[in-house]
Structure 1
Amino acid sequence: MTRGVGGETRQDAPGPSVVLAVDSGGSGLRAVLAAHGTAHGTAYAAGTAAGREGLTAAAPIALSDPLTSGEPVRTGPRGISAAHLLEQLLPMAGRLMDDAGAVRLGAVAVGAAGLATLGDELRDELPAALERELGVRRLALVADAVTAYTGALGPRAGAVIAAGTGMIAIGTDLTSWRRADGWGHLLGDCGGGAWIGRAGLEAALRAFDGRQGGSPELLAGAEEVFGPMSELPGRLYPRTDRPAVLASFAPQVAARAGSDPVAADILRTAARHMAESAAAACPPDGEPLLALTGGLFRMGEPLLAPLREELAARVPHARLVPAAGDPLDGALRIAVGLADGRLTLPQDDRMLYVVAEKPYPEIDALNSA
C-alpha cells in the first residue's frame, strides 16, 4: 500500500517509481517529477547541449513540464512556513503523479530560498508531513544556493556564482560547503541586481543634485523608469519589494555601460565583488570548475566581459564552464541521487539536510563522515 495525497491509502499498481523535485523561491514554487533507477528505465540527458560540456554525470530528465504556483511561500515567526509550502505543493504533487501514472515516490528534494537562515520550521515539520501525506521516507531539504550549484555543476568540485536580485557564491571540495555573501540587499549581495540598481540610482541622484560622480545618462534613464527624482524616495521606501524594485534598474545600467563611464564603472565594481566572493568560496587546490547561473547574467557582455577579467585575476586556477542547468535541475539531481543511494554531495544541517528511512547505509555513512 502507498499513501496518497491527504493521507489516504491506495493499492500499489504498475507504474514507475519517481522522485519529486521542488524549487521554492522569490517568484513562486515549481515542482517536477523524474524517473529514477535502472529498473525503471531512468532517462538521462545525453549531454548534447552546450551547457552540459564536461559533465561526468548527466542530469535526469523531467517526465513533464514543471508545475508552477506563482506565489512565493510565506515566512512567519519561525521562518519559512511549512504549512504554506504544503498547501501549494501537495495538489501539485498529486497532479504530477496522476499524470505520470506513478504511485511511489522514491525521494523528494525541496530547494528553498532562505533555508540556511529561515529553515527551522521546514526541518521540524516537513519530514513527518510529507511521509504522512505522500509516503515519502527519503527527503532532502536544500538551500537554494546548493540547488543552483548542483544544477550548474552536478556532483563535482568547484564554485558557482548565483546572481539575480541578490548574489551568493558557493563552492565545495565535496567534503564541505563554502559560501560567500548572500547576506541580503541591506548587508551584502554585493554585485547582484539590487546592488547594481541601487548604485545606478545613486549616480542618477548625484547628477540630479549636481554632485561629483553623477551620471546624466543614468539620471535620464531613472526619470524614464521612476518619474521625477524628487519623488523617488516616496515611491521606493514604502515598498516591501525594494530589492526587486532596485534590481529592475540594473538593465538600465547595463544598457548605458558602452557610452557612460559611470555605468561601466558600476558594472566593473559589481564584477570585482562577484569575483572576490567566488575566490572565497572556490576550493583552493586543483583545477575546480566555475559556473555562472541566474538571471542577472542575461545582461550579457557589459557585465560578463569585466567579470571574466576579474575571475581570471582572482581565481586563475579555476576553469570557467557553462552552467548545465538551473536550481530545479539541481533539485532533480539531488532527489535522484538520494533515491538511488548515490548522493555524494556533502551534507550540512543548514545547506543540505537529509532525512532517510532506516536502513539506508549510504546516508548513514554520509551522516557519520
Structure 2
Amino acid sequence: MTGREPPVVLAVDSGGSGLRAVLARGTEPLGEPVSSGEPVRTGARGIDAGQLLERLLPLVRQLIDDAGCGGPVAVAVGAAGFATLGEQLRAELPSALTRELGVRRVALAADAVAAYTGALGLRPGAVVAAGTGLIAVGTDLERWRRADGWGHLLGDCGGGAWIGRAGLEAALRAYDGRSGGSARLLQRAEALFGPMDGLPGLLYPRHDRPAVLASFAPEVGACAVHDPVAAEILRAAARHMADAAATVCPAAGQPRVALTGGLFKLGAPLLVPLEAELAKLLPHARLVPAEGDPLAGAVRIAAALAGGGPGLPYDERMLYAVAEKQPPQKGAIDPVRQDPPFTPKNTSP
C-alpha cells in the first residue's frame, strides 16, 4: 500500500436481525458484506460485548481472507440499542478490538447515527431508520436529537416488530371473533406460524421475539391493498414515523429528511401515508432518497476516523469515538472528542 492509498477499515452493523460486516479501503467496500443471522443478546449491562466480538471475529477473518489484505486500522460499529444499552460496549469493546485486531481507532455508534451518516452524510436533517425497530435521529451538526428507539416492549412505534405485532393482534381478534379483527391477516398468520392457539408458546420463550414479530410485517403490507384493517395499521405506523421525524428535525433552514431500513420495502401502502404525514408536519424540510444504508454509514465513519475523527457531534450515547495513544501507554484508550471535519463522498446540494 502506498502512502496515498486509503487505509483498510472495518464497518459493522449490529441490528435486530443479525450482524453484518464489511472491509473497505477508504469508503470503497472490498467485496460483499458477510453476516451472522442472529442478533447479539442483551444482558444486565446492556448489549453483550463478548458475544458481539465472538460473532464478529470469524466474519473479519473471512473478510480479510477474501480481500487478501491486512487487518483494518479503524473500526466503526453501529449497534441497535447502543444509546440506551451501550454501557458494556463502551467499557469493553474498544480494548477488545485493539487486542484482537490491533486497531487503535474505534467508533461505537447508535444504529441510527450509522443510518444517518449513510443516508445524509454531513448535512443537517433527520433520518427515520425503520427495520425490526424504529428510531429517528436528527442533527443541526452541533448536537444529536433522537426520538423513540426504546425497543419493542416500550416503543419502536411504527417499526417492523410494532407492525407485525399489530397485525398478529388483528389476526387473533378475528380468531376469537372479536371486533376489529382481520380474516385476511388470520389466514396469513396461520400459514406462517401454524394454529393460533400455539402462537404464544411459539413466540414468548424466544430471545429474538422482535425479529419474529417483524417477520409478519410484510404480510401486513401484502394485505393492506385490500384489507382496511391492515391498511389502517400502516397508516398508524406512518403517523408514528412522521411524529418521530418532526421531533428531531432542525426547525430552521431547509433540512433534509431521509428514510432508511428494510421496512420501507413494504412500498406504497406505507410510503404514501408517510409522505403525506411528513409534508404536513415538516413543510420546511425536503424528503430525499437515502444515499446509503447503515452499513455504508459505518464505512464512512470508520474511514473518517482512520484519518482523524468523524467530524460529527460527539455524544457518549450516540457516537463514541476512542483512539489509543501513539505509542500505546499501558493500553490507555482516550476519547476522541475534538474531531477534524468529515467530508462524505457526496456533498452536493
Q: Do they fold alike, i.e. is TM over 0.5?
A: yes
Within the candidate set 209, 231, 253, 2:176 is matched to: 209
Aligned AA for 1:124? A
Aligned AA for 1:208? Y
Verify the 8 A CA contact 1:16 1:103 in the aligned structure 2. no
Deviates more, 1:265-274 or 1:100-109: 100-109
Distance 1:133 1:185, change over 3 A: closer
2-structure distance, mates of 1:364, 1:187? 32
Q: Report the alpha carbon displacement of residue 246 of structure 1 after superposing the two structures with TM.
A: 2.1
Within the candidate set 229, 235, 245, 1:278 is matched to: 245
2-structure distance, mates of 1:183, 1:66? 28
Question: Which residue of structure 1 aligns with residue 228 of structure 2?
Answer: 261
Q: Does 1:76 align with 2:14?
A: no
Question: Which residue of structure 2 aligns with residue 20 of structure 1?
Answer: 10
Within the candidate set 293, 300, 303, 1:326 is matched to: 293
Q: Report the alpha carbon displacement of residue 364 of structure 1 after superposing the two structures with TM.
A: 4.9
Q: Report the alpha carbon displacement of residue 64 of structure 1 after superposing the two structures with TM.
A: 1.8
Within the candidate set 19, 39, 50, 1:29 is matched to: 19
Q: Report the alpha carbon displacement of residue 247 of structure 1 after superposing the two structures with TM.
A: 1.9
1-structure distance, mates of 2:126, 2:261? 14
Distance 1:248 1:33, change over 3 A: closer
> Which digits, 9 at most, give the CA deviation of each residue in 1:268-326, with x for residues without a partner?
11111111011111111111111111111111111111111111111111111111111
Within the candidate set 108, 117, 130, 1:150 is matched to: 117
2-structure distance, mates of 1:312, 1:236? 37
Question: Which residue of structure 2 aligns with residue 228 of structure 1?
Answer: 195
Structure 1: gaps (5+ residues): 1-11, 37-59
Deviates more, 1:256-265 or 1:68-77: 68-77
Q: Does 1:193 align with 2:193?
A: no
Q: Report the alpha carbon displacement of residue 363 of structure 1 after superposing the two structures with TM.
A: 4.4
Aligned AA for 2:25? A
Verify the 8 A CA contact 2:309 2:339 in the aligned structure 1. no
2-structure distance, mates of 1:129, 1:246? 33
Distance 1:19 1:220, change over 3 A: closer
Question: Which residue of structure 2 aligns with residue 174 of structure 1?
Answer: 141
2-structure distance, mates of 1:239, 1:33? 32
Q: Report the alpha carbon displacement of residue 182 of structure 1 after superposing the two structures with TM.
A: 1.0
2-structure distance, mates of 1:194, 1:348? 28
Q: Report the alpha carbon displacement of residue 71 of structure 1 after superposing the two structures with TM.
A: 4.1
Structure 2: gaps (5+ residues): 327-334, 341-349
| Alignment RMSD (CA, Å) | 2.6
Verify the 8 A CA contact 1:155 1:345 in the aligned structure 2. yes
When the two structures are superposed, what TM-score results if normalisation uses the length of structure 1? 0.82
Q: Does 1:301 align with 2:268?
A: yes
> Which digits, 9 at most, give the CA deviation of each residue in 1:165-203, with x for residues without a partner?
211111111111111111111111111112112222222
Verify the 8 A CA contact 2:258 2:289 in the aligned structure 1. yes
Verify the 8 A CA contact 1:114 1:143 in the aligned structure 2. yes
**What secondary structure, in the 3-state scheme, does the structure 2 residue paired with 1:68 have?**
strand
Aligned AA for 2:278? L
Verify the 8 A CA contact 1:151 1:330 in the aligned structure 2. yes
Q: Report the alpha carbon displacement of residue 152 of structure 1 after superposing the two structures with TM.
A: 1.2
Q: Report the alpha carbon displacement of residue 95 of structure 1 after superposing the two structures with TM.
A: 4.5
Deviates more, 1:117-126 or 1:152-161: 117-126
Verify the 8 A CA contact 1:16 1:104 in the aligned structure 2. no
2-structure distance, mates of 1:129, 1:220? 48
Distance 1:75 1:236, change over 3 A: closer
Equivalenced residue count is 332
2-structure distance, mates of 1:101, 1:235? 43
Distance 1:332 1:221, change over 3 A: same
Verify the 8 A CA contact 1:16 1:102 in the aligned structure 2. no
**What secondary structure, in the 3-state scheme, does the structure 2 residue paired with 1:365 have?**
coil
Aligned AA for 1:30? R
Verify the 8 A CA contact 2:16 2:211 in the aligned structure 1. no
Question: Which residue of structure 2 aligns with residue 45 of structure 1?
Answer: none
Question: Which residue of structure 1 aligns with residue 280 of structure 2?
Answer: 313
Within the candidate set 89, 96, 114, 1:122 is matched to: 89
Larger radius of gyration: 1
Verify the 8 A CA contact 1:17 1:102 in the aligned structure 2. no
Q: Report the alpha carbon displacement of residue 244 of structure 1 after superposing the two structures with TM.
A: 2.3
Verify the 8 A CA contact 1:22 1:29 in the aligned structure 2. yes
**What secondary structure, in the 3-state scheme, does the structure 1 residue paired with 2:28 have?**
coil
Distance 1:97 1:282, change over 3 A: same
Verify the 8 A CA contact 2:107 2:320 in the aligned structure 1. yes
Q: Does 1:365 align with 2:335?
A: no
2-structure distance, mates of 1:25, 1:83? 16
1-structure distance, mates of 2:236, 2:53? 41
2-structure distance, mates of 1:28, 1:62? 20
Distance 1:287 1:218, change over 3 A: same
Question: Which residue of structure 1 aligns with residue 207 of structure 2?
Answer: 240
**What secondary structure, in the 3-state scheme, does the structure 2 residue paired with 1:197 have?**
helix
